Copies of this chain bind each other. A is one copy, B any other.
Amino acid sequence: MSAKGELNPTARFLMGPGPSDVHPRVLKAMATPLIGHLDPQFITIMDGVMEMLRQLFRTQNDVTFAVSATGSAGMETCFVNLLEPGDEALVCVNGVFGNRMCDNVERCGAKVVRVDAPWGQIIEPAQVKQALQGCIPRLVAIVHAETSTGVLQPLEEISEITHKAGALLLVDTVTSLGGTDVRVDDWGIDVVYSGTQKCISAPPGLSPVSFGPRAVEVMDQRKTKVQSWYLDLSMVRKYWAGAKRAYHHTAPISMVYALYEALRLIFEEGLEARFERHLRNHELLRDGLEEMGFEFLVAPEYRLPMLNAVKVPAGVDEAAVRRQLLDQFNIEIGGGLGDFAGKLWRIGLMGCSSTQNHVNMLLGALRRILKR
């Protein structure tokens, strides 16, 4: 019986679909000695996180905090708190995460009504409108930034259609939040979740969420208990924001430190400057890749600046190239998922990984490997 070897991972440049590179100040925050999770000073930090998350989501929603697990648990939190057995939910599917939403709905004992679009394309408002004529869903769920395809989904028109049908709008902003505008209140988003390890550039481990007044009303009128104890907002809300903080679970203290520091960095930079930076570096990458003859999967008007889905040229072994990037250049990029396995690279320019230097490093490495 013996201990394993020293923890000594190689320094990498993270340009995949997440996690992204983490700012040294955030790493330093992670190394801050712990205080108790009910310490008045920790409650002040939780309050700061909530306040900054409201600014980042551009919302006034009281119920805005970070679920104590990764983005996928944020997704689950939204569904299990809003759906009850027998409910209907309309789910828009144009990639992996839309499919995952359907799986979540079914596990709630609710009925899925799917609206499908080809992967790499947006969901058209007309599709949602038509589907709403055949069902009375509790909610319409849609992905703002599909990490599996690189599509940026316009939301305003679909929001209007959803509300006219009396449903809640539930949006996945795991990859968009912190890298492009997410306007929860202006766009009428009722429920939203995200992750920390993409454009917020903190480590994975928390899921920022926000629930608007209509969503809170639905939760307050539930007839059944939420199926998950850990994610039951009727209790978690009191822990994060109750007048007297009630013990529920033990928050991942160091992760909350990290999120706090990452949010501070975001507001020191300024949201507009940050979004502009993400766009500028995306354009730099795009120009370089197109010069080398690469094609993007997504039409220009719907491309995510932080997740660039590029078609693998015919005759190129995509996994071998990714392995070379990792082994010889310490650069991580992502491969395709599902139908796109082997056919796509997913290049992330998220948070601290969205810099000119990252773009130039990757372009140089690809030129060397592909001899272009």
User: Is A188 on the interface with B (CB-CB < 8 A)?
Assistant: no
Q: Is the CB of B33 within 8 A of A22?
A: yes
A104-B229, A249-B73 given as contacts; is B12 within 8 A of A39 (CB)? yes
Tell which of B7, B40, B42, B48 touches A29, judged by Cβ atoms closer than 8 Å: B7
Contacts of A9 in B (CB 8 A): 32-33, 35, 39, 41-42, 45
Q: Which residue of B lies closest to A104 (CB)?
A: B229
Q: Which residue of B lies closest to A100 (CB)?
A: B229
User: Is A255 on the interface with B (CB-CB < 8 A)?
Assistant: yes
State how many residues of chain A have any CB contact under 8 Å with chain B.
84
Contacts of A3 in B (CB 8 A): 52, 263-268
Q: Is the CB of B55 within 8 A of A34?
A: no
User: Is A213 on the interface with B (CB-CB < 8 A)?
Assistant: no
Tell which of B22, B107, B263, B326 touches A225, judged by Cβ atoms closer than 8 Å: B107
Q: Is the CB of A36 within 8 A of B7?
A: no
User: Is A357 on the interface with B (CB-CB < 8 A)?
Assistant: no
Contacts of A166 in B (CB 8 A): none
Q: Is the CB of B264 within 8 A of A4?
A: yes
Contacts of A204 in B (CB 8 A): 37, 250-253
Q: Is the CB of A250 within 8 A of B7?
A: no
Q: Is the CB of A76 within 8 A of B205?
A: no
Contacts of A226 in B (CB 8 A): 107
CB distance from A12 to the nearest CB of B (A): 5
CB distance from A200 to the nearest CB of B (A): 13
Q: Which of A9, A52, A197 has the most CB of B within 10 A?
A: A9
CB distance from A358 to the nearest CB of B (A): 14
A7-B260, A203-B252 given as contacts; is B337 within 8 A of A247 (CB)? yes
- Cα A349 to Cα B205 in complex, Å, equals 27
Contacts of A329 in B (CB 8 A): none
Contacts of A254 in B (CB 8 A): 30, 203, 205, 254-255, 258
Tell which of B14, B31, B230, B267 touches A2, judged by Cβ atoms closer than 8 Å: B267
Q: Is the CB of A34 within 8 A of B203?
A: yes
- Cα A235 to Cα B142 in complex, Å, equals 23
Tell which of B31, B108, B195 touches A28, judged by Cβ atoms closer than 8 Å: B31
B-binding segment of A64-72, A120-128, A282-290, A301-309 = A64-72
Q: Which of A4, A12, A52, A265 has the most CB of B within 10 A?
A: A4
- Cα A32 to Cα B197 in complex, Å, equals 15
- Cα A242 to Cα B9 in complex, Å, equals 22
Q: Is the CB of B197 within 8 A of A250?
A: yes
Q: Which of A192-234 contact B (CB under 8 A)?
A: 195, 197, 203-205, 225-230
Instruction: Give A contacts to B, CB under 8 Å.
Output: 1-5, 7, 9-12, 14, 16, 18-19, 21-22, 27-37, 39-42, 45, 48, 51-52, 55, 68-73, 75-76, 100, 103-104, 106-108, 195, 197, 203-205, 225-230, 247-255, 257-258, 260-261, 263-268, 271, 326, 332, 337
Pick the 3 closest A-B CB pairs, nearest first: A205-B252, A69-B69, A3-B267
